[in-house]
């Protein structure tokens, strides 16, 4: 499943193709959404934004389309009237005169009044989006000592969207490598220095991944671009101490770590 940085980059691409242009064609696969096709005709998309691993497409008539790709969903940008060759099943098509955005294979799709979309059960359940610019280290540190999270092992906690939304397996691996912590550690047992390092990594790595992963000279973080230091690098030397990196399974997901400098 894509993680927060990939979902935000996808949202950026969808927004660049569609925001501000009148919709010429709207199509939904599900019968319960068909009535909205006419209601959205000629309307404009105001914004396409992620919350955790969900996308919110806000229209200028007070409606918002909620979608979650889950394991198999994927958005595509195409020319108006074109449909890519694929074995995936089309669920949503939104077109302007020039462009189309197409959602394939997703099943978690609904339309809400914009002022009530926060009531969606998934959005009520998740924690702050790790890429939300209003979230700072003070807020993250407070969640680490919150009694809901403080006694949980980090390996499972960092995959729990109720803690911080948008984290996934590769970010979990890289955050714990950067903070020099093993996944069996708990926030309650960390020293002040360790907690500070973890708090910093929880914001730094997702944001650096969003800004720079796969790009050259991207943004203000170009001097420290994101790249994997431990994820899927078992058998290679740790970039920090040169110990051979190892692979294990943590919370039913593959985990990569340095047995020497992660403590």
Catalytic residue among 2, 128, 254, 259: 2
What contacts 214, CB < 8 A, 6 or more positions away? none
Catalytic residue among 8, 9, 53, 91: 53
Residue ranges of E strands in the chain: 25-28, 45-51, 54-59, 63-68, 74-79, 90-95, 99-104, 108-113, 246-250, 253-257
> Does the annotation mark 253 as catalytic?
yes
8 Å CB contact between 23 and 96: yes
Which class for 64: exposed (0-12), middle (13-18), buried (19 or more C-beta within 10 A)? buried
> Does the annotation mark 242 as catalytic?
no
> Does the annotation mark 3 as catalytic?
yes
The angle formed by the CA atoms of residues 119, 125 and 130, to the nearest 5 degrees, is 110
Catalytic residue among 3, 6, 95, 174: 3
Q: Quick one: how far is CA 173 from the chain centroid?
A: 15
Catalytic residue among 247, 253, 254, 259: 253
Q: Report the catalytic residues.
A: 2-3, 53, 253
């Amino acid at each position: 499943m894509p993680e927060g940085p990939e979902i935000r980059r996808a949202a950026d691409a969808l927004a660049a193709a569609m925001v501000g242009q009148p919709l010429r064609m709207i199509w939904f696969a599900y019968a319960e959404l068909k009535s909205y096709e006419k209601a959205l005709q000629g309307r404009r998309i105001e914004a396409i934004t992620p919350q955790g691993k969900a996308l919110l497409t806000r229209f200028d008539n007070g409606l918002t389309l909620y979608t979650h790709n889950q394991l198999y969903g994927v958005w595509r940008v195409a020319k108006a009237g074109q449909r890519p060759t694929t074995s995936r099943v089309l669920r949503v098509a939104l077109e302007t005169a020039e462009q189309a955005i197409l959602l394939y294979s997703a099943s978690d799709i609904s339309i809400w009044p914009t002022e009530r979309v926060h009531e969606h059960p998934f959005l009520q359940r998740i924690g702050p989006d790790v890429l939300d610019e209003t979230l700072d280290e003070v807020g993250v540190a407070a969640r680490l000592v919150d009694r809901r999270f403080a006694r949980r092992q980090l390996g499972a906690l960092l995959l729990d969207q109720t803690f911080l939304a948008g984290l996934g397996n590769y970010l979990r691996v890289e955050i714990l490598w950067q903070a020099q912590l093993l996944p069996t550690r708990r926030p309650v047992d960390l020293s002040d220095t360790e907690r500070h390092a973890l708090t910093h990594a929880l914001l730094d790595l997702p944001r650096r991944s969003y800004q720079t992963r796969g790009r050259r000279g991207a943004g203000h973080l170009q001097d420290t671009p994101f790249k994997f230091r431990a994820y899927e690098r078992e058998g290679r030397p740790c970039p920090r101490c040169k110990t051979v990196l190892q692979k294990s399974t943590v919370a039913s997901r593959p985990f990569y770590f340095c047995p020497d400098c992660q403590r």
